[in-house]
Structure 1
Amino acid sequence: MTKFLALIAALLVAACSHPDRGPAVPRTDTTKALPLGIPNARFYADADPGPMVEEGLLASRRELAAHGLPLDPRSVARLPPAHFLAVSGGGDNGAFGSGLINGWTELGTRPSFKIVTGVSTGALIAPFAFLGPAYDVALRDVYTTMTPERVYKKRGILAALYDDAMADTTPLSEVIAQYADEKLMAAIAAEYMKGRLLMIGTTDLDSQRPVIWNIGAIAASGKPGALDLFRKILRASAAIPGAFQPVLIDVEIDGKKFQELHVDGGAIAQLFLYPPSIDISRTGYERKRYAYIIRNARLDPDYAMAERRTITIAGRAIVAMLAASGYNDVLRTYFVTQRDKVDYSLAFIGADFSSPKDGEFDQRYMQALYAYGVQQMKSGRAWHKVPPGLGTYTRLGP
């Protein structure tokens, strides 16, 4: 009995403890916090779109200069079509998106993207997609050699009581550091100076707001901590709340230091192209625009008999909510592009894909899914002009 009471006491003490952190940014000062003092390092997707619009205008000026065109709004019509790419979350299903992109290169029709956005696993894909075919090998290797051991280390059951997550993602940090190096940062900065934009989404848990990180501006800032911040953003965007560690990001306001707690951008939006508050059709710039949306998930229901067990029921409900959230993000993006007269193409994992899966980050499953993505693109079956379940369902290709 004494040992039992001691165990209960230990559990109660553990339940009252948690990892330490610095003070959060005051509610009224969230927009004043500048990581590394970079004014355009990030934007709040639910805030005044003015700063993002201004960033887009500056990017257009840099693009005009890179093409040797006059800095005149009328010159925009002389630029080549603008291609946008949005890559969603999906965990190990990111192997689909990586295969799709590399298959696009093999097909010979992959464009250079004006804007690339990524959330969660899509955030890990986005830098490679942004920098082009030169990084195809790295993109393939990340998603075909991945194992659970390269992503996380399990913690004990007590982590649910006293820690910040059930798993330690130090292994993932090491993978990120291997690929997100000074050379990659310099390449991103160079493309940013040509008017191209790379955006990554995270969720600020303190303010419960979606954050869009302007990676090119961070890379081009020349700040000593820029590379470390970039790595933290990638890790944060893939930090599934409760499962993977959240990431603390240091900020400063009027000389006072604060910390923000960031997790997976998918907690709010599993993909984004640009905030709906921005209507690019009203800029007055005549230019053809194409949006490509990669949803690293299936869009048909995942049928399975649910047992009458608390954990099973809760788990199935969460999966259903995430699936619905992801589909709603697909719909939102579709309607925004239709409003703004942007050509829309959607790719997702079809019901025709089937492969055994032994837990998360099963290497054989990811390799099969990567190959499926490559084949879908090369066969011309990847893109759909309307999301399934909305009006006329259309598949491009044979």
Structure 2
Amino acid sequence: MDEKVATPHRHDRAASGRGRRHLLERLLPGIGRHRGREPTVAIERFNALPETLLESAVVSGFEGVRMWGDVYTQAFEDSLIKKNKAIRKAAEAGINTSSLHKADFLALSGGGDKGAFSAGVLSGWSERGDRPTFEVVTGVSAGALAAPFAFLGKAHDTCLRDIYTEYGAAHLYRSRGLRGFFSDALNDTARLDALIRSYVTEDFLDLIAEEHGKGRRLLVLTTNLDAQRQVIWALSAIAASGNPGRRDLFVKVLRASSALPGVFPPVRIDVRAGGRTYDELHVDGGVTAELVFIPPESQILHIEDMVFPERRERTLWVIENGKLGPEYAAIDLKILPLALRAVQTMVKYQVIDNLLALALITRNNNGKFFFNAIPPSFNPKPHSLFDRGYARELFDVGRQVGLSGKWFASPPSSPTLLPMEAFEEEHGAMEEAPRSFGYRGCMQSAAAAGYQGAVIEQPTAVTPE
């Protein structure tokens, strides 16, 4: 005979419902009830930029500091002509005179917690003594955070090292716990904002502005999530604007370029259009590209010939903060590991597509193309996200790559790359990083180490044997 199942009384069900709500509020602190309804943290946007105003929107007081990264426009051509004229004027005045004959460009990729590799490569390159002064430096995501220091040269190598090896996850973000699933991101990045600001001081911006005046450019990529389009920001132009809000915008753009959707909050940037103020939503540049240099179909050669008396030798150097080859791993049949593995695989193929595209653009404009990536022989695994021990090992490997002077000239057409020549010498121990916080501290340590920021004019590229 079947047993009867007792049916709760109405007030018992109500009490049970209240209990569930109270439990939810304890698990998700900060979530309240609105007029007796269920707990909510819905985030609404009341001021999003309308699609009809997309092309006319500008950041008030910062006109001309950004452009679309996915299309060649007259505005971009005009900016290139202006840059080249400033380069020529500076060279004829005795500043970086070699730039009349040659130009070196640097592109730094995304890579999350693997950004220490590019920091190591640049440091080793400085030690080698043939690191050029880059006319243009670009960065995406993790590469965007490195780009300002790479732009300012050898004197800032200590700061660059510190950024990637001295700060772990606890210095960069704070988990929102279960609340994160009901908000704009799982983590809060107020700590990252504070860290960036500790380096991006007014003096730091003045140095970047000075180089901008000589024609050099610092560019980073964000993704306009509303428009699903790439945006290239001229950080050097922001620094040179003289606008009192330059520091805030500079920091916002850096934070946006590394704001992985869902993991870190998107960055709202206020714009003016049609006589009103709206906001745009910007996230990780790596959503649309792992590398950026110039928009497709750019006519660099034609523009160069318009300004310079003779055709210059142009070289694009690319540092990829990741491995290009496949990395085998047996994946658990759980939703998060499966999703993460799928994204990692997608990014690996995206990187190769980006490398091939950049190589093609460079060579179509009679330029040279070289790149480096994390060697396949590097096998340590991080114990956690932004593991400082792992970052220091990766920095040291990058340093050895920079010291070797060997670069690849042809990207692979698939995730298969011949292994780099193994380093036979013992990896040198990394110097103990300074403990002082921020830009002033690392620059004091650099001065104590004798770094004077000498300008290196002649790079040496050696392709792998």
TM bucket, shorter chain: over 0.9
> Which is further off, 250-259 or 261-270?
250-259
The one-letter code sitting in structure 2 at the alignment partner of 1:342 is G
Q: Could you say which residue in structure 2 is the equivalent of 1:163?
A: 183
Q: 1:351 to 1:16 in 2, by over 3 A?
A: same
Other structure's SS at 1:112 match: coil
2:101 maps to 1:80: yes
Q: What corresponds to 2:17 in structure 1?
A: 5
| Residues 121 and 238, structure 1, Cα contact 8 Å, conserved in 2 | yes
The one-letter code of the counterpart of 2:267 is V
Whichever residue aligns with residue 52 of structure 2, its letter is T
Q: Is 1:152–1:172's contact at 8 Å kept on the other side of the alignment?
A: yes
Give the Cα separation in 2 of the matches to 1:158 and 1:176. Answer: 25
- Please state how far the C-alpha of 1:18 moved relative to its aligned partner: 2.5
Answer yes or no: is 1:251 the counterpart of 2:271: yes
Q: How does 1:42-191 map to 2 (within 5 A)?
A: 42-68=66-92, 79-160=100-181, 162-191=182-211
Q: How does 1:331-370 map to 2 (within 5 A)?
A: 331-370=356-395
Distance, in Å, in 1 between the alignment partners of 2:154 and 2:144 is 17
Is contact 1:22-1:259 (8 Å) kept?
no
Cα pair 2:165 2:391 within 8 Å, conserved: yes
Matches of 1:332 and 1:244 in 2, distance apart? 29
Which residue number corresponds to residue 293 of structure 1?
Answer: 318
Matches within 5 A, 1:8-23: 17-23=41-47
Q: Kindly state the Cα deviation for residue 380 of structure 1 after the two structures are TM-superposed.
A: 2.9
Kept in 2: contact 1:385–1:394 (CA 8 A): no
Q: Which runs of 5+ in 1 are unaligned?
A: 71-75
Superposed CA deviations along residues 138-186 of structure 1, whole A, max 9, x for unmatched, are 11111110211011100112321x2100000111111100111101111
What secondary structure sits across from 2:409 in the alignment? Answer: coil
Residue number in structure 1 paired with 2:291: 271
Aligned mates of 1:242, 1:268 — CA distance in 2: 16
- Going from structure 1 to structure 2, the CA distance change for 1:119 and 1:58 (only over 3 Å counts) comes to same
Instruction: Choose from 233, 257, 275 the match for 1:213.
Output: 233
- Name the residue aligned to 2:457: none
Q: Contact 2:125–2:405 at 8 Å: present in 1 too? A: no
Looking at structure 1, the residues matched to 99 and 178 of structure 2 have their Cα atoms a distance apart, in angstroms, of 60
With normalisation by structure 2, the TM-score equals: 0.79
Which residue in the other structure is 1:374 paired with? 399
Q: Which residue of 2 aligns with 1:40?
A: 64
Helix, strand or coil at the partner of 1:37: coil
Give the conservation status (yes or no) of the 8 Å contact 1:380–1:397: no
Counterparts of 2:14 and 2:102, CA distance in 1: 74
Alignment match, 1:319: 344
Return the offset for 1:77: 10
Give the aligned residue type for 1:58.
K
Distance 1:364 1:3, change over 3 A: farther
The answer (yes or no) to whether the contact 2:72–2:296 under 8 Å persists in 1 is no
Q: CA deviation at 1:311?
A: 2.6
| 1:225-264 mapped onto 2 (5 Å cutoff) | 225-264=245-284
1:62 deviates by 1.1
| TM-score, length basis structure 1 | 0.92
- List aligned pairs for 1:383-394, cutoff 5 A: 383-389=407-413
Q: Report if the CA contact (8 A) 1:384-1:394 is conserved.
A: no
Q: Does the aligned pair in 2 maintain the 1:36–1:225 contact within 8 Å?
A: no
What is the CA-CA distance between 1:8 and the residue it aligns to?
Answer: 6.2
Structure 1 residues 262 and 282 mapped into 2: Cα distance closer, same or farther (>3 Å)?
same
Query: Structure 2 matches for 1:24-39, cutoff 5 A?
Result: 24-39=48-63
Q: How far apart, CA to CA, are the structure 2 residues paired with 1:336 and 1:191? A: 26
Instruction: Give, in whole Å, the separation in 2 of the partners of 1:284 and 1:309.
Output: 53
Residues 343-386 of structure 1: per-residue CA shift (max 9 Å, x gap): 010110011112231111000000000000001111234x1011
Count of aligned pairs: 391
Q: Which residue of 2 aligns with 1:73?
A: none
Shift in Å, 1:273 = 1.2
* 1:4-47, Cα deviation, whole Å (9 max, x unpaired): 53436969967853335451111121221111332211001124
Deviation at 1:58, TM superposition (A): 0.5
- SS at 1:297 equivalent: coil
Q: Helix, strand or coil: the match of 1:31?
A: coil
CA deviation profile, 1:215-270 (whole Å, cap 9, x unmatched): 11111111111110000000000101100011111111243111111100000011
Kindly state the Cα deviation for residue 69 of structure 1 after the two structures are TM-superposed: 6.4
Aligned mates of 2:223, 2:99 — CA distance in 1: 38
